[in-house]
Amino acid sequence: MGNLFDLTGKTAVALGGNSALGGAIAKGLADQGAKVAIVGRNMEKAEKMTKEIEANGGTAKSFQGDVSSQESIENLAKEIEAWSGGWDIVLNAPGKNSSTPFLELEMDEWDDIMDVNLKGLVFTTQVFAKRMIEQKRKGSIINISSVSSTTPLSKVFTYSASKAGVNSVTQFLAREFAPHGIRVNAIIPGFFPAEQNKKILSEDRIASIMEHTPMNRFGDPDELQGAAVYLASDKASGFVTGSLLRVDGGFGSMTI
C-alpha cells in the first residue's frame, strides 16, 4: 500500500496551476513525485507556485498559456513536450466567475466565462489527449467542477451552467478515451474561498453556505490534494473513470 499513490516518473500538466485550488493540487502531485508543468495566464503567479514546489523538493516549470485561445494551447503543448517529452496527467483547473444577475447578463460576459470554464477545457483536452494517444501514453485527466454543477446556486448563473457542462464532458470523454487507457474524472469541490468567489461571499451568503454544509466550515485548498492524487494514480484508481468525486464537506448531501 505504501506505493499506491506514488507518481514518480509521471509528468503532470497543471492548467490553472497558478490559482489557489489548482496550485494546491499541483503541489500535491509534486509531493508524490510527479514532474509538474505549472500553466497560467499570469506568469508571475505561475513562477511563484513553481518556486514553492521546488523549495519543497519537487520538480516544476512555469509556462504561460491562455486556455481560451486555441493558438495558445497548441503552442503551450509544444513547449511542454519539448521540456518533458510528454505527460501522463492533465489537470484542468482554470476558472472564471461572475455574480451578474440573469436578467442583466450580457453575451460578452457569458462568452468570456464559457471560453475559460468549458470551451477552454474542451479544446485543451483535445490537444493534450491527442498527443497522449499518439504517444500511446495511458494516464489521467482530472477536471475541476463545482457543487453548482449539480445544484445551481444563486448569483452564479453562467458559472453553474459552465460547470454542469464540465460534468457532461467528463463523462463523455471517459467513454471516448477508455480504449486508449486514459481515464477522465472530475472533482466537485465545495466552498473553498478564493479570489474569484470572495466578491460574492457576503455575511448572509456565508451563513447560508454554513447552514447547507454539514461540516460547518469552508474547505482548505490542501484538502483537494488527496482526491487529485488518488485520481492521478493508476495504481490507486486504475478502474475509475467517468466519476464525479465530491470534496464538499457534505454540501451535496444536505436537503432541509
Q: Give the per-residue pLDDT at 177.
A: 98
For the domain with range 11-246, which CATH number is right: 3.20.10.10, 3.20.20.140, 3.40.50.1110, 3.40.50.720? 3.40.50.720
58-78 pLDDT, tens per residue? 999 999 999 989 999 999 999
Helix axes of 43-55 and 20-31: crossing angle, nearest 10 degrees: 30
For the annotated catalytic residues, the residue numbers are 159
The 10s digit of each residue's pLDDT in 198-217 is: 666 788 888 989 999 999 99
Determine contact, residues 200/191, Cβ cutoff 8 Å: no
pLDDT band at 195 (very low <50, low <70, confident <90, very high): low
Say if CB 146 and CB 188 are below 8 A apart. Answer: yes
* Signed CA dihedral, 246, 196, 26, 131: sign only: positive
The mean predicted confidence, pLDDT, of the chain is 93
The predicted model gives 4-32 an average pLDDT of 97
C-alpha cell at position 117: 470554464
- Segment 117-176, tens digit of pLDDT: 999 999 999 999 999 999 999 999 999 999 999 987 888 899 999 999 999 999 999 999
CA 153 to chain centre: 20
Question: How high is the pLDDT of residue 170?
Answer: 98
Q: Tell me which amino acid residue 179 is.
A: P
Contacts of 219 (CB under 8 A, 6+ apart): 189, 190, 191, 192, 247, 248, 249
Q: Which helix (H) or strand (E) holds 54?
A: helix 43-55
Domain ranges within the chain, ordered by starting residue: 11-246
b (16+ CB within 10 A) / e for 54-76? eeeebebbbbbbbbbeeebbeeb
Distance (Å, whole) CA 223 – CA 208: 22
Instruction: Round to whole Å and give the CA distance between 168 and 172.
Output: 6
Q: All 3 cell numbers of residue 244? A: 464525479
pLDDT at 251 over 70: yes
Higher pLDDT, 43 or 153: 43
Position 227 pLDDT exceeds 80: yes
Burial call 198-235: b when 16+ CB within 10 Å, e when fewer: eeeeeeebeeebeebbeeeebbebebbbebbbbbbbbe
- Region 174-190: mean pLDDT is 97
